[in-house]
Amino acid sequence: DTGVSQDPRHKITKRGQNVTFRCDPISEHNRLYWYRQTLGQGPEFLTYFQNEAQLEKSRLLSDRFSAERPKGSFSTLEIQRTEQGDSAMYLCASSLTSGGTSTDTQYFGPGTRLTVL
Count of residues in the chain = 117
Please tell me whether residue 90 binds another protein under the rule CB under 8 A.
Answer: no
Name which of 17 and 74 has its Cβ closer to another protein.
Answer: 74
* 3-class secondary-structure state, position 61: coil
Q: Look at phi and psi of residue 43 and say left if phi exceeds 0, alpha if psi is from -120 to 50, else beta.
A: beta
Please tell me whether residue 95 binds another protein under the rule CB under 8 A.
Answer: yes
* Phi, psi angle pair for 47, to nearest 5°: -165, 160
> How many residues in the shown chain lie near another protein by CB under 8 A?
27
Q: Which 48-87 residues touch another protein, going by CB under 8 A?
A: 48, 50, 55-56, 58
Nearest of 93, 95, 97, 87 to residue 110 by alpha carbon: 93
Please tell me whether residue 41 binds another protein under the rule CB under 8 A.
Answer: yes
| Residues that bind another protein in the complex, under the rule CB under 8 A | 31, 33, 35, 40-45, 48, 50, 55-56, 58, 91, 95, 101-111
